[in-house]
Amino acid sequence: MTVLIAGGGIAGLTLALTCHEIGVPFKVFEATSSIQPLGVGINLQPNAVRELGDLGLTGELERIGVKTQELAFFSKKGLEIWSEPRGTWAGYAWPQFSVHRGQLQMLLYRTLTQRAGADCVQTGWRASSFANEDGQACLTLLQAGGGEERVERGAVLIGADGIHSAIRAQMQPDEGPPLWGGAIMWRGTTLAKPFRTGASMVMIGHDTQRLVAYPISAPKAESGLAVINWIAELRFDPHAGWHKEDWNRLADADDFLPEFSAWRYDWLDLPALISGAEQVFEYPMVDRDPLERWTHGRVTLMGDAAHATYPVGSNGGSQAIVDARKLGAAFLQHGLTPAALQAYESELRPITTQVILANRGSGPDAILQVVEDRCGGEFTDIEEVLPRSELEAHAAKYKGLAGLAIAALNRAPRTIT
C-alpha cells in the first residue's frame, strides 16, 4: 500500500522523507523533467526547522542557510518602528533560517534519493486527475511533452502540486486562477554588505510600496559581502490584468527602481541593492480562498495546493513542511486511510485558513501601514505614533495564529515519535 505524492516541491519532498522515516512506501511524481534549484530566498520558521532537524537535516541547514537573528520594521524614511529577536535569540528551542529556496529543494531531493533510492521520484510526469475506486486512490499521469498516459494506484494520494494544483482543480472545478489583490513583487539577490546584526530581516515601507531584505549566505571572508535576498513590492489597480504567475518570470529593474530612488538610508542603500542584482524575477502577489474541505475519500491536499497564501509572514514554506510531518503522524496513528487524511485536515485546515485571511490584511507587516497613516513615516519617537504595547500585541497575535507561540512550540511533543 503506497502513498502517491503529486509534486516534488518543498511539501512533496518533505512528505516523502517522512514516509521513508516511518517505513511507509511512497512514490513522488514531479511534472518538471528534472528538479532544478529555482527561486530565491525563503524563510524557515522554528516550527519547520524543528521538523527538518527531526529528519536529521540540522547540519545541512546550517551549511546552506543563515540563522535569522532579528526581524525589524522601518518606515519609508528608514526609521525603525519595531524590532524583535528571532529563532533561538527569541527563546525558541530551534533557529529560524533564511535560505535559498532552490538549495533547500535540492537538499531535500538529494537526501531523499540517498536514503530511498534514485527512482523514488519520477520526474517528467504531470498529475492530471484522480479517482477513488475500489478502496484505492487512482492518479492519472501525463508524460511531459504530451507522451504516454498512465494510471498509478495507491492507498492514498496527496496533492502537493503547488498553487496551480491539478488535484485541487478537480476538487474545485469552478475555482479558476489564483486571486490577485494588486501587488507585484520583484525579487532578486545581490552581493552586498549585510546590515544591522548581519543576519537581520528588514521590512520597509507600507502597504502600497514595500521592500523586504535579508541575507541568505554568510559574508565571504575576503570581501565581507553576503548574498542579500530582496523583494520590492508595488501595488496597482487589482482590476488591471497581470502576467500569469510564474515564479521564474524574468523582469527589468527599470520597471520599479525609479519608485525606490529616494529610499537611501545611512544603514542601507536600497537603489544600490536593487541595481546590483544580476537577475530580477517578477511575480504577482496571489493567493487562493481558503477551502471548506481538502479531503475527498483517499485524496487530500497539502502545501500551496491546500492553502496558497500571500508571502507575508514568512510561513508558506514552513507550513508545507509542517503539513508533511502532520500527515506522517496521522499515517502512524490511523494507517493509510481516509481517517488519517481527515485527522490531518481537521488539525491544520483551521490554522491555515486563519493565516490566509490574516495575510490578506498584511499579517505582521500591517504595522507599517498604521505608521504611514498616522505620520507619513516621519517621526522622532515611535512611542508617540504607536505605543510599544500595541506593537508587542500585534506581533504576538500573528505568532499565535501561525503556530509560532514560543512557549507552546517549545513545549509541544515531537510530531513523529
Residue numbers of the site for ligand FAD (CB under 6 A)? 6-12, 29-32, 38-40, 42, 101, 126-127, 160-162, 164, 166, 187, 247-248, 303-305, 311, 316-317, 320
For the bound state, the minimum distance from the C-beta of residue 247 to ligand FAD, rounded and expressed in Å, comes to: 3
* Nearest-5° Cα angle at 28, 23 to 31: 170
Between strands 70-74 and 80-85, the pairing is: antiparallel
| Pick 116 or 385: Cβ nearer ligand FAD | 116
Q: Count CB atoms within 10 A of the CB of residue 261.
A: 10
**What is the residue whose three cell numbers read 521590512?**
203
Spatial contact of 243 and 284, defined as CB atoms under 8 Å apart: yes
CB of 385 to ligand FAD, least distance (A): 30
User: What is the CA angle 215-219-225, rounded to 5?
Assistant: 85
d(CA 234, CA 185): 7
Joined together, the cell numbers standing for residue 83 give 524590532
Q: How many angstroms separate the CA atoms of 397 and 404, rounded? A: 10
List the strands of the sheet with 149-154, edge to edge: 125-133, 136-143, 149-154
Q: What are the DSSP calls for 9-36, one per residue?
A: SHHHHHHHHHHHHHT--EEEEESSSS--
CA distances from 285 to 258, 269, 279, 288, 317 (A): 20, 25, 19, 11, 15
d(CA 253, CA 274): 7
Count Cβ atoms within 10 A of the Cβ of residue 216 and give its class: 0-12 exposed, 13-18 middle, 19 or more buried.
Answer: buried
Q: How far is CA 202 from CA 63, 91, 122, 262, 415, in A?
A: 23, 20, 39, 17, 31
Closest by alpha carbon to 185, among 146, 231, 125, 218? 231
Q: Which is nearer to ligand FAD, 80 or 175 (CB)?
A: 175
- Residue with smallest beta-carbon separation from ligand FAD: 9
Q: How far apart are CA 125 and CA 228, in angstroms?
A: 34
- The cell numbers describing 258, all together, are 525609479
Closest separation between CB of residue 98 and ligand FAD, Å?
11
